[in-house]
């Protein structure tokens, strides 16, 4: 896929198109969606000079919008020297091609725009590979459909023209590249899994949320050495970053910053970022960061929950953190929200407001995952004793006769293993007896 634009080169002018279908999808909501699309376009390097919303229930298979609207827009595009037209909804390859011909300029849909931004933003080799994989997977069925379309034009099924040979070759190349990227990414995630295995006894917390909610800013505030990239642009973060966070009572947790979510996040991207998002899946709990100053924050919360569901994250381990309270000038609204979300925390990452309460909430949550146990065993059972020392924090040690008595504290994850060891040991003992 070509790179249509990048933030480094001259900015382009764009026209945005949305379709409303009252009452399910009222015009006002589509206007909000176009605000977000404009933010995406801006992040990608385009200035929005015009926007159009058409009320239409049934999408035209050839044009997506109505043909009359297409003709009307062609004049706007021509007169306004517009470089590209961006649709908020996904277009079929046929619709995109027809529209490109009619407007005589580039036409993008929302998925392509998001893929473009990810391509521009990706910094690490892993993120670059994940984005390339998503782009190729997006492209592959389009090559196929393009070929089907061409074959029909050339005289129907079974026509073996040079076009087919070329497209077959392209498809093979794309498939080969896809397999190679998948293999490389799998190797990388295996490597990563080995590196993180040793951290099993430390509780893990992940920051999740809508793009631009302030996750990286909060990470930098809580762990000043994190140096996470934060900016007033969408998808500032594409790489998962993990840092140690010192807490007052429960010592240390590992805090991870992750890629932000967005309405209609392309499915390919979710799939390709799955290995990075596994970090989220494995966390003991999640901090859901919400930009409370955004007018559509409640819909954003739903989008995040749905995306988490899509990647298989359980819902009971989430703390809602309403960020950017400093940007809320309506005290009444804040009071209402506190009542409505009694469990949530209200913070400001930039101003550092209420972050101690947030740390305490993390401590509490983490504390609930650790349990204290006692064991009395003969001193000669040094293997079992050694295992406990390795996988738990020994709080107290005493001796009685020839037995050692240990009081230890371990994470639920480790307790399962310790208990299994003890059971296995007791069974072998009774066997011997």
Ligand X SMILES: Nc1nc2c(ncn2[C@@H]2O[C@H](COP(=O)(O)OP(=O)(O)OP(=O)(O)O)[C@@H](O)[C@H]2O)c(=O)[nH]1
- Strand 318-323, strand 345-346: pairing: parallel
CB of 297 vs ligand X, minimal distance in Å: 13
User: 371: phi > 0 → left, psi -120 to 50 → alpha, else beta; which?
Assistant: beta
CB of 258 vs Mg ion, minimal distance in Å: 8
Partner in contact with 327, chosen from ligand X, Mg ion, none, beta carbon below 5 to 8 Å by kind: ligand X
CB of 79 vs Mg ion, minimal distance in Å: 39
The answer to whether the CB of 287 falls within 8 A of the CB of 208 is yes
| Residue whose CB is less far from ligand X, 230 or 384 | 230
Place of tokens 């001796």: 399
**Alpha-helical segments (H) within 154-214:** 162-197
| Residue whose CB is less far from Mg ion, 216 or 323 | 216
| Residue whose CB is less far from ligand X, 105 or 207 | 207
Strand partners, 19: 54
Stretch that binds Mg ion, among 81-89, 134-142, 208-216, 301-309 (CB under 5 A): 208-216
Q: Is 215 annotated as a binding residue?
A: yes
Strand partners, 47: 13
| Residue whose CB is less far from Mg ion, 20 or 242 | 242
**Euclidean distance between CA atoms 259 and 124, whole angstroms:** 13
Residue, CB closest to ligand X:
260
The answer to whether the CB of 202 falls within 8 A of the CB of 246 is no
Partner in contact with 234, chosen from Mg ion, ligand X, none, beta carbon below 5 to 8 Å by kind: ligand X
| Residue whose CB is less far from ligand X, 121 or 268 | 121
CB of 105 vs Mg ion, minimal distance in Å: 32
| Residue whose CB is less far from ligand X, 37 or 415 | 37
Q: Is 210 annotated as a binding residue?
A: yes
Q: Is 387 annotated as a binding residue?
A: no
Residue 216 makes contact with Mg ion by CB under 5 A? yes
CB of 104 vs ligand X, minimal distance in Å: 34
**Separation of first and last alpha carbons in the chain:** 71
Q: List contacts with ligand X (CB under 6 A).
A: 209, 211-217, 230-232, 234-237, 260, 323-324, 326-327, 348-350
| Residue whose CB is less far from Mg ion, 216 or 293 | 216
Stretch that binds Mg ion, among 95-103, 207-215, 322-330, 350-358 (CB under 5 A): 207-215
| Residue whose CB is less far from Mg ion, 223 or 404 | 223
What is the DSSP secondary structure assignment for residue 351, as one 8-state letter?
Answer: T
**Euclidean distance between CA atoms 65 and 54, whole angstroms:** 7
Residue 223 makes contact with Mg ion by CB under 5 A? no
CB of 165 vs Mg ion, minimal distance in Å: 45
Q: Which residues fall within 8 angstroms of residue 16, CB to CB, at 6 or more apart?
A: 34, 37, 38, 41, 48, 50, 51, 52, 85, 86, 88
Tokens of 56: 């239409």
Among 401, 395, 396, which Cα is nearest to 377's?
401
Q: Is 349 annotated as a binding residue?
A: yes
What's CA 178's distance to the chain center, in Å?
21
Partner in contact with 213, chosen from Mg ion, ligand X, none, beta carbon below 5 to 8 Å by kind: ligand X
CB of 34 vs ligand X, minimal distance in Å: 19
**Euclidean distance between CA atoms 427 and 433, whole angstroms:** 10
Angle made by CA atoms 154, 159, 161, in degrees to the nearest 5? 75
Tokens of 415: 């307790």
Q: How many residues does the chain have?
A: 433
**Euclidean distance between CA atoms 10 and 224, whole angstroms:** 35
Residue 19 makes contact with Mg ion by CB under 5 A? no
CB of 268 vs ligand X, minimal distance in Å: 18
Partner in contact with 350, chosen from ligand X, Mg ion, none, beta carbon below 5 to 8 Å by kind: ligand X
The answer to whether the CB of 3 falls within 8 A of the CB of 44 is no
Q: Is 136 annotated as a binding residue?
A: no
Phi and psi at 373, nearest 5°, equal -140, 165
Rule CB under 5 A: choose which of 20, 95, 151, 237 binds Mg ion: 237
**Chain residues that interact with Mg ion, rule: CB under 5 A:** 215-216, 236-237
Q: Binding site for Mg(2+), residues?
A: 216, 237
């Amino acid at each position: 896929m070509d790179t249509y634009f990048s933030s480094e080169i001259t900015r382009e002018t764009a026209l945005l198109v949305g379709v409303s279908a009252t009452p399910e999808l009222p015009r006002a909501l589509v206007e909000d969606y176009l605000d977000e699309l404009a933010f995406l376009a801006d992040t990608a390097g385009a200035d929005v000079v015009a926007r159009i919303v058409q009320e239409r229930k049934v999408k035209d298979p050839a044009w997506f919008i109505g043909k009359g609207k297409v003709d009307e827009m062609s004049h706007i595009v021509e007169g306004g020297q517009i470089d590209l037209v961006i649709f908020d909804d996904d277009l079929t390859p046929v619709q995109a091609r027809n529209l490109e011909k009619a407007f005589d300029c580039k036409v993008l849909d929302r998925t392509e725009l998001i893929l473009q931004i990810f391509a521009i933003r990706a910094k690490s080799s892993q993120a670059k590979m994940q984005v390339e994989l998503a782009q190729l997977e997006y492209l592959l069925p389009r090559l196929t459909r393009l070929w089907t379309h061409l074959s029909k034009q050339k005289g129907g099924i079974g026509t073996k023209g040079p076009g087919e040979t070329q497209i077959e070759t392209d498809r093979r190349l794309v498939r080969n590249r896809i397999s190679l990227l998948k293999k490389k990414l799998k190797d990388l995630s295996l490597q990563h899994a080995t590196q993180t295995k040793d951290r099993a006894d430390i509780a893990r917390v992940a920051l999740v949320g809508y793009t631009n909610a302030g996750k990286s800013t909060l990470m930098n505030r809580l762990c000043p050495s994190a140096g996470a990239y934060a900016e007033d642009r969408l998808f500032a973060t594409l790489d998962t970053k993990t840092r140690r966070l010192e807490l007052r009572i429960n010592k240390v947790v590992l805090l991870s910053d992750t890629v932000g979510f967005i309405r209609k996040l392309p499915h390919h991207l979710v799939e390709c970022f799955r290995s990075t998002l596994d970090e989220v899946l494995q966390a003991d709990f999640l901090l859901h960061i919400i930009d409370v100053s955004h007018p559509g924050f409640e819909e954003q919360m739903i989008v995040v929950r749905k995306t988490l569901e899509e990647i298989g994250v359980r819902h009971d381990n989430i703390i809602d953190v309403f960020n950017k309270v400093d940007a809320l000038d309506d005290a009444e609204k804040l009071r209402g929200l506190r009542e409505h979300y009694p469990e949530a925390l209200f913070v400001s990452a930039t101003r550092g407001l209420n972050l101690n309460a947030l740390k305490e909430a993390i401590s509490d949550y983490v504390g609930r995952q650790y349990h204290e146990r006692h064991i009395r065993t003969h001193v000669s059972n040094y293997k079992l004793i050694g295992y406990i020392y390795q996988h738990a924090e020994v709080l107290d040690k005493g001796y009685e006769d020839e037995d050692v008595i240990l009081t230890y504290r371990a994470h639920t994850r480790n307790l399962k293993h310790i208990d299994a060891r003890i059971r296995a040991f007791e069974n072998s003992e009774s066997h011997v007896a």
